[in-house]
Amino acid sequence: MFSYHEINLHLDEIALPKPLSEITGKLDDFKGYELNFLIKAEKYLFDHLEYESYKSKVIHCIGTCRFNLTQVGLYLLMEDEIIFVHTSALKLDEDNQQWSLNVYPFKEIVSFEFNDGCYSSDDYNSGVLFIRLKNKTGTVRSKTIRNINPNHFGCMRDFHEKMQENRYI
């Protein structure tokens, strides 16, 4: 079984902010589903992201999340965007599982809200992030990201405040 808690505990130990190139490949503490998930997520991320242009970008927080009942993923909050790489939670052990990559620059984000009122730092499976995005045609769509690490709400709040400040300058 996939454990958000185990992965988030390990990811919380990484001293951030750091450039992407300095946090990759540190998977020695994992076994089974968690190791398989992280190896495949990292590979897909680097195969489908312009790694050379991202390797020096600073990561402010990184953790696991769920997109719906069947999609599990990893999020990376950077200076000016949030990146999600995700796949089916039902097919984590399959070699041919399909992955997706979503990159949301802050200029596309209309609102960024989360439920941060009643969680302790030990509750790694509880946070919910609500993102409203404006696409190229101007249509606003909503994304709900579940199981966000509540320890990252402060980091996300800072990201949101910076996003709003830059929007109004």
* Domains delineated in the chain: 4-168 (2.30.29.30)
Per-residue pLDDT of the chain (169 residues; tens, 9 = 90+): 667 778 888 888 888 999 988 887 666 677 888 888 888 888 899 899 888 888 899 999 999 888 888 889 999 999 889 999 999 888 777 777 899 999 998 888 888 888 766 555 555 556 788 899 998 888 999 998 888 887 888 888 888 888 778 765 4
Among positive and negative, which fits the CA dihedral 38, 41, 44, 46?
Answer: negative
CB–CB of 113/130 below 8 Å? yes
**The Cα angle at residue 143 between residues 18 and 106, in degrees rounded to 5:** 45
State residue 128's pLDDT score.
84
> Does an H or E element contain 73, and which?
strand 71-78
> Does an H or E element contain 41, and which?
helix 32-48
- The C-alpha torsion from 66 through 72 and 78 to 80, rounded to 10°, is -60
State residue 123's pLDDT score.
55
- The DSSP bridge partners found for residue 63 are 75
Q: Taking Cα atoms as reference points, which of 44, 34, 37 lies closest to residue 5?
A: 34
State residue 79's pLDDT score.
86
pTM attached to this predicted model: 0.86
DSSP characters over 96-136: T--EEEEEEEGGGEEEEEE--SS--TT-TT-EEEEEEEE-T
